[in-house]
Amino acid sequence: MNKNSTKLNKAFWEDLILRRGTMIGMIAIILFLGLRAPSFFRVKNLMDVLKQSCILILVAMGQTVVLVSGGFDMSAGSLLQLTANLAAGFILAGMKTPSVLIAGIAVGLAVGLVNTFFVVMVKIPAFVATLAMMLVLSGVTTWYNKGKSITLSNEPGFFFLGQGYIGPIPVLFIITVAVMLLLHVFLKKTKTGLRMYSVGENYAAAMLHGISKKKALLISFMLGGALIGAAGVLQASYSYGASTMSTTLDFLLQALAASLLGTTFSRTEELSVIGTAISALFISSLSSALIANGVSNLLQPGLLGLILVVSVMLTVIKKREIGQVTIF
Amino acid sequence: MNAPDQKTNRPAEEEIVLNCRGIVKQFPGNLALDHVDFSVRRGEVHALVGQNGAGKSTLVKIITGVYTRDGGVIELDGTEMPLRSPTEAEEAGISIIHQDQQLVHNFDVKRNVFLGREIRKGPFLDFDTMRKQTQEVLDMIHVRFGPDDLIKTLSVGEREQVSIAAALLQKPRILILDEPTASLSLKETEQLFQIIRDLKSQGVTIIYISHHFDEIFEVSDRITVLRDGKSIQTLNVKDCNKREVIEIMIGRNVSQLYPKKEIEKGETILSVKNISLRNKLNDVSFELKKGEIIGVAGILGSGIADLANVLFGIVRPDTGEISVYGSRTDIKNPRIAKQNRLALIPEDRRTEGFVSGMTVEENMSFAFAKRYRQGPLYSRKKGAAEADRIIRLLSIKTNDCNTMIDSLSGGNQQKVVIGKWLEGDSGIFIMNQPTTGVDVGSKVEIYNAISDLVADGAGAILISQDFEELLGMCDRIIVISGGAVTKIYQYGEAEEKDLLHYATVSVKAGES
């Protein structure tokens, strides 16, 4: 019995070092870059960095919710782009902020529903079905904005969401943290959350325990869609409307990287919204810190690719250790 | 639901808890169960045996509500039960532990045990209550882990115990174990039997399904034999022996369960000298002659599987040499092994032995596809002709060579795996547990195939944890424990207990 508990203790410490290891690495990198650019650690700049990270954090959490049930969402970035454009257009057309937010969420839910239909009912692999959805949504976006930016000005009510502050804290950050906590409780402390994880981790086991994969995926895609739909509206508020510059793939890849990197925070290599949020915050602050250090914007995609590879590598190595093979 | 309570402590001899009478189940074109009678007494361990296709799993699926029966009556404690769904069976107190019990490895024990029937407090999961109840069932089976341990930190045997705990949580009146020892080591199996005895003393009735007669005779009180969808006989374990049961099960006199032929031995075709593999094998040497079957006996993890891998070039040994047909050969990889007329029948036929979703002919021809060329292309005709020849040779039961391999029985699939190598000129067959998971009838046919092979001038190395088949089939048996050879027996010299003794004798690793 005693021997057993020391063994467990050792495993516990090893796990802890691995978890903290990612965290320590992240802090070290940001500290190093931040100290080289003195203005980086001013409170105002830090708050800006936080604010800037929020959209990515929300999208990444949307992706995580889908991954939890064993799904995969390629359409995350283009859904964000679409609802950002729709939101900007609706505000220009005179719609009130709450209605726009509801519209964004509704579009996200609809996209999630269609994704679920193709993945669950038609049984197309999630990767392919959502890839098609990504292209369709991009097409709809271009059709809607006719290839032009939709710029907003003088919309204080709407801009408060994405640009306002309560005290020194950005409103957007408060929203993001609230969403994160709600999602965390939902996934880890409720029956539905537990069942979604079980479907994603070992479908055969879940099935034998009478758990429905369809239901788990439906909730995943709908919840993820709603989250990203709302994030698009906030994006429009944050960046004075919607630009035509395509950030679709950037958002998608960064969100995926954040989700996977986030698993290294967990003792069990599980996906978690908190791990995802911290990783997304890291990826986003890294961009800011690099820019503050005068590193060219043009290098950023390459660095992002590197982060993606490293995060996937960390996950795959750990998963292989416990005998799980991933699709990556 | 009845808890296993005090009044059942002393089971009344004749008290019937489950009574199935005249159960009929008709599948399209196949009468799976033909008026089967099956009755189980309270607090007994009742073994259910039969060949694959005899109706065991159909009967179990009817008792657990997965299938609905077309006729017959099922009574639980004298009350007739419809048992129309798994939920109904569960509510009636019937639990089953499946052969491949699936668990979520990243969840802890309590989450797995309660998966699908979670306890909630308001909208949230009530982990405290779940932990407490999990601990209670874990105490019933005396395990060494707790409700908060992660599944991935547990051994295979402990995972099986988690499944048992999950079943016990429902306070079953009847617990069905379907091939529970399939992936367990000897020691883990022993622990499982202890758990079964404990449960029995706590008044739980157990239905035990297994192909292993040793286990059945060790742990059960009565045996019901099914054959061709009929219940043939129910016997008291005390009043019968293994051979008797096997004969009832396969419905004919097994004059020779092990069809060993007297074959003249030829020259040495494989010679293994001083093979060592770090932590796995320690100085193993032996020779194989033409016409000879050598048995390699050992328990799970003793290195017997590694020996197969070394011989077929999957793993390279650290030291030692191998000579094939008289010349020293460095078997770097399986391709070179194949060129040197070695053939491997792998341990897990489903993942390593055949390609699921391909036909019998395709599975037989891919190892030597080059032989059936017509110009640069593979010739279906030539491949099919050869496949037909081997189907006849090994009497493989299949419609024709274009049948999907998945639709064959386990024994016949294994024969395809063996037959694949016959298309080449393979002469040295390394068989790693070729009869795992096949029924007695199919085993006999696989033994026949092996006998035919060696009679034809081949040599075979039969690696197995089933010591009885080694004793029955092999000219010589090499016993391995801890990676080292601990004993060599000639045919007829040893008994099962001797093999078991030398297979479990402790050898210090790294000692030469």
Pairwise CA distance, residues B449 & B217, whole Å:
29
Confidence band (pLDDT; 50, 70, 90) for B11? very low
Residue A315 has pLDDT above 70, yes or no: no
B351 to chain A, any CB pair closer than 8 A? The answer is no
Residue A135 has pLDDT above 90, yes or no: yes
- Residue B477's SS3 state is strand
Which range in A190-204, A220-234, A248-262 is most confidently predicted, on average pLDDT? A220-234
Token representation of residue B443? 């085993």
Token representation of residue B455? 């009679």
What's residue A316's pLDDT? 66
The stretch A110-118 carries a mean pLDDT of 97
Residue in B closest to A9 by C-alpha: B149
Confidence band (pLDDT; 50, 70, 90) for B8? very low
What's residue A327's pLDDT? 40
Residue A7 has pLDDT above 60, yes or no: no
From the list B428, B420, B315, B434, the residue with the least C-alpha distance to B372 is B420
B148 to chain A, any CB pair closer than 8 A? The answer is no
Of B104, B105, B107, the CB nearest to A322: B105
What's residue B207's pLDDT? 95
Residue B195 has a CB neighbour count (10 Å cut-off) of 19
A269 contact residues in B (CB cutoff 8 A)? 106
The stretch A218-229 carries a mean pLDDT of 97
Pairwise CA distance, residues B143 & B139, whole Å:
7
Angle, alpha carbons B326-B328-B329 (nearest 5°): 115
- Cα–Cα distances in Å, from A227 out to A247, B6, B299? 18, 55, 54
Cβ contact B107–A209 (<8 Å): no
Token representation of residue A141? 């976006």
Task: Give me the torsion for CA of A219, A223, A225, A230, rounded to 10°.
Answer: 160
Confidence band (pLDDT; 50, 70, 90) for B511? very low
Residue in A closest to B144 by C-alpha: A1
What's residue A328's pLDDT? 38
**Residue B150 DSSP class:** B
Cβ contact A211–B111 (<8 Å): no
Of A8, A185, A202, the CB nearest to B102: A202
B156 to chain A, any CB pair closer than 8 A? The answer is no
A10 contact residues in B (CB cutoff 8 A)? none
Find all residues with CB under 8 Å of A78, minimum gap 6, and list them: A133, A134, A135, A137, A138, A141, A248, A252
Of A194, A201, A322, the CB nearest to B118: A194
Residue B369 has pLDDT above 90, yes or no: no
What's residue A326's pLDDT? 40
Residue B474 has a CB neighbour count (10 Å cut-off) of 25
Question: Smallest CA–CA separation between B219 and chain A, in Å?
Answer: 27
Of A4, A209, A270, the CB nearest to B116: A209
Question: Smallest CA–CA separation between B245 and chain A, in Å?
Answer: 33
Residue B182 has pLDDT above 80, yes or no: no
Confidence band (pLDDT; 50, 70, 90) for B82? confident
From the list A269, A272, A266, A256, the residue with the least C-alpha distance to A318 is A269
What proportions of chain B, in percent to the nearest 5, are helix, strand and coil? 35, 25, 40
Q: Is the Cβ–Cβ distance between B135 and B147 less than 8 Å?
A: yes
What's residue A20's pLDDT? 65
Residue type at position A106:
A
Helices (H), B440-505: 440-455, 467-473, 496-504
Who has greater pLDDT, B369 or A34? Answer: A34
A189 contact residues in B (CB cutoff 8 A)? 124-125
B99 contact residues in A (CB cutoff 8 A)? none
What's residue B414's pLDDT? 83
Pairwise CA distance, residues A288 & A40, whole Å:
9
**What is the per-residue pLDDT across A274-284, written as a single tens digit (0 to 9) for each?**
999 999 999 89
B85 to chain A, any CB pair closer than 8 A? The answer is no
Question: Smallest CA–CA separation between A323 and chain B, in Å?
Answer: 9
- pTM, to two decimals: 0.71
> What is this model's ipTM?
0.80
**What is the per-residue pLDDT across A9-26, written as a single tens digit (0 to 9) for each?**
666 666 555 556 677 778
Question: Smallest CA–CA separation between B115 and chain A, in Å?
Answer: 6
- Residue B267's SS3 state is coil
**What is the per-residue pLDDT across B294-330, written as a single tens digit (0 to 9) for each?**
999 988 778 888 999 999 999 899 999 999 998 898 9
Pairwise CA distance, residues B58 & B55, whole Å:
5
Helix or strand (DSSP H, E) at A305: helix A300-321
Listed as own residue / partner, the contacts of B231-238 with beta carbons closer than 8 Å and 24 or more positions apart are B231/B36, B231/B37, B231/B38, B234/B38, B234/B39, B237/B47
Confidence band (pLDDT; 50, 70, 90) for B214? confident
Cβ contact B144–A1 (<8 Å): yes
Pairwise CA distance, residues B63 & B58, whole Å:
9
What's residue B394's pLDDT? 78
B86 to chain A, any CB pair closer than 8 A? The answer is yes
Cβ contact B103–A185 (<8 Å): no
**What is the per-residue pLDDT across B449-506, written as a single tens digit (0 to 9) for each?**
888 889 888 999 999 988 888 988 999 999 998 889 999 999 988 888 888 888 887 7
B152 to chain A, any CB pair closer than 8 A? The answer is yes
Interface probe, candidates A10, A186, A194, A213, chain B, greatest B C-beta count within 10 A? A194
Regarding beta strands B281-289 and B222-227, do their DSSP bridges make them parallel or antiparallel, or are they unpaired?
unpaired
Pairwise CA distance, residues B421 & B412, whole Å:
15
Q: What's the sign of the alpha-carbon dihedral A292, A297, A298, A302?
A: positive
What's residue A165's pLDDT? 93
Token representation of residue A177? 């943290």
Q: Is the Cβ–Cβ distance between A77 and A199 less than 8 Å?
A: no
Token representation of residue B239? 């009043």
Question: Smallest CA–CA separation between B67 and chain A, in Å?
Answer: 15
What's residue B45's pLDDT? 95
Residue in B closest to A202 by C-alpha: B104
Who has greater pLDDT, B435 or A255? Answer: A255
Angle separating helix axes A213-238 and A97-116, nearest 10 degrees: 150
The stretch A59-83 carries a mean pLDDT of 95
The stretch A59-67 carries a mean pLDDT of 96
Pairwise CA distance, residues B476 & A325, whole Å:
40
Regarding beta strands B342-345 and B428-432, do their DSSP bridges make them parallel or antiparallel, or are they unpaired?
parallel
B142 to chain A, any CB pair closer than 8 A? The answer is no
A275 contact residues in B (CB cutoff 8 A)? none
Residue B220 has pLDDT above 60, yes or no: yes
Pairwise CA distance, residues B141 & B162, whole Å:
10
Q: Is the Cβ–Cβ distance between B223 and B237 less than 8 Å?
A: yes
B123 to chain A, any CB pair closer than 8 A? The answer is yes
Q: How high does pLDDT run on average in chain B?
A: 85
Q: How high does pLDDT run on average in chain A?
A: 87
Who has greater pLDDT, B51 or B148? Answer: B148
What's residue B100's pLDDT? 67
Of A189, A210, A267, the CB nearest to B116: A210
Domains belonging to chain B, first-starting first, are 17-93+174-254 (3.40.50.300), 101-171 (no CATH), 256-341+427-507 (3.40.50.300), 355-424 (no CATH)
**Residue B108 DSSP class:** B
**What is the per-residue pLDDT across B17-30, written as a single tens digit (0 to 9) for each?**
999 999 999 877 67
Q: Is the Cβ–Cβ distance between B269 and B329 less than 8 Å?
A: no
Pairwise CA distance, residues A111 & A225, whole Å:
6
B98 to chain A, any CB pair closer than 8 A? The answer is yes
User: What residue segments make up the domains of chain A, in order of their start?
Assistant: 53-246
What's residue B28's pLDDT? 72
Burial letters for B376-402: b for 16+ Cβ neighbours within 10 Å, e otherwise? eebeeeebbebbeebbeebebebeebe
